[in-house]
Chain A
Amino acid sequence: MDFLERLFGRRKPTSKIIAKERLRLVLVHDRASISPQVLDSLKEDMLDVISNYMEIDRRGTEVTLNSDKESVALIANIPVIGVVGRNKRGVRI
Chain B
Amino acid sequence: MGEVIVVTSGKGGVGKTTTTANISTGLASMGKKVVMIDTDIGLRNLDVVMGLENRIVYDLVDVTRGDCRLRQALIKDKRFENLCLLPAAQTKDKTAVQPEQMRELCEKLKKEFEYVIIDCPAGIEMGFKNATAGAERALVVTTPEISAVRDADRIIGLLEAAELPNPLLIVNRIRPTMVKKGDMMDIDDMIDILAIDLLGVVPEDESIVVSTNKGEPAVLDMKSMAGQAYRNISRRITGEDVPLISMESEDGFLSKIKKFFGIQR
Given contacts A11-B265, A26-B146, contact A19 B185 (CB under 8 A): yes
Of the stretches B66-74, B147-155, B200-208, the one at the interface is B147-155
Q: Is the CB of A11 within 8 A of B185?
A: no
Q: Is the CB of B189 within 8 A of A20?
A: yes
Using Cβ atoms and an 8 Å threshold, which residues of chain B touch A13? 264
Identify which of residues 9-30 in chain A touch chain B, using a CB-to-CB cut-off of 8 Å. 11, 13-17, 19-20, 22-24, 26-27, 30
B14 to chain A, nearest CB (A): 15
Determine the residue in chain A with the shortest Cβ distance to B181: A14
Q: Is the CB of A27 within 8 A of B182?
A: no
Q: Is the CB of B193 within 8 A of A27?
A: yes
Q: Is the CB of B184 within 8 A of A30?
A: no
Q: Is the CB of A22 within 8 A of B146?
A: yes
Using Cβ atoms and an 8 Å threshold, which residues of chain B touch A14? 181-183, 264-265
B15 to chain A, nearest CB (A): 19
Using Cβ atoms and an 8 Å threshold, which residues of chain A touch B265? 11, 14
Determine the residue in chain A with the shortest Cβ distance to B195: A70
B13 at the interface (CB under 8 A from A): no
A88 at the interface (CB under 8 A from B): no
B129 to chain A, nearest CB (A): 19
Q: Is the CB of B189 within 8 A of A16?
A: yes
Q: Is the CB of A27 within 8 A of B264?
A: no
Instruction: Give the one of A15, A17, A23, A26 with max B CB within 10 A.
Output: A23
Q: Is the CB of B183 within 8 A of A30?
A: no
A89 at the interface (CB under 8 A from B): no
Using Cβ atoms and an 8 Å threshold, which residues of chain A touch B154? 30
Determine the residue in chain B with the shortest Cβ distance to A10: B264
Given contacts A11-B264, A11-B265, A27-B193, contact A16 B182 (CB under 8 A): yes
Give A23 to B150 CA distance when docked, in angstroms. Answer: 7
B81 to chain A, nearest CB (A): 45
B216 at the interface (CB under 8 A from A): no
B31 at the interface (CB under 8 A from A): no
Which 10 pairs from chain A and chain B are nearest by CB?
A14-B182, A15-B183, A16-B182, A23-B146, A19-B146, A16-B185, A20-B189, A27-B153, A26-B150, A19-B185
Q: Can you sample 5 A-B contacts with CB below 8 Å?
A: A14-B182, A23-B146, A30-B153, A31-B153, A31-B157
Q: A14-B181, A16-B184, A27-B153 given. 19 additional CB < 8 A pairs?
A: A11-B265, A14-B183, A14-B264, A15-B182, A16-B183, A16-B185, A16-B186, A17-B182, A19-B145, A19-B146, A20-B189, A20-B193, A23-B149, A26-B150, A27-B193, A30-B150, A30-B153, A30-B154, A31-B153
